[in-house]
Amino acid sequence: MAEVEIPSPLRSDTGGAATVNVEATNLLAALRELDHRFDGLGRRLRTGRSVVVDGVLHPTVGPVPLEPDSHVSFVASVAGG
């Protein structure tokens, strides 16, 4: 199962868990599972964050493929001009 790292401010949504395992073949499916299991957590993870899957930064959330041993984390998006 892919491992999703939960940012500190949202860990209260997971009962304090820093990571959550999900069974999903892509990032969108993983976020849907988190929405279902933790009452909208997937939507909250998307807001103001970019996603890193297996060390590769993805500035927008899309159908990024996941492997059973994938690691997913979220970083604050940076705006500039």
Could you read off the pLDDT of 1-13 as tens digits, one per residue? Answer: 999 999 999 999 9
All domains of the chain, ordered by start, with CATH? 2-76 (3.10.20.30)
- Indicate the DSSP class of residue 6: P
What pLDDT is recorded for position 80? 65
Helices (H) and strands (E) in the chain, counts: 2, 5
What pLDDT is recorded for position 2? 98
Contact (CB, 8 A) for 22 and 2: yes
Quick one: which of 14, 74, 71, 16 has its CA closest to 48? 74
Q: What pLDDT, in 10s, does the model give residues 24-59?
A: 999 999 999 999 999 999 999 988 899 999 999 998
Quick one: which of 61, 62, 63 has its CA closest to 46? 61
Output 33 or 79, whichever has higher pLDDT: 33
Output 76 or 52, whichever has higher pLDDT: 52
- Indicate the DSSP class of residue 26: B
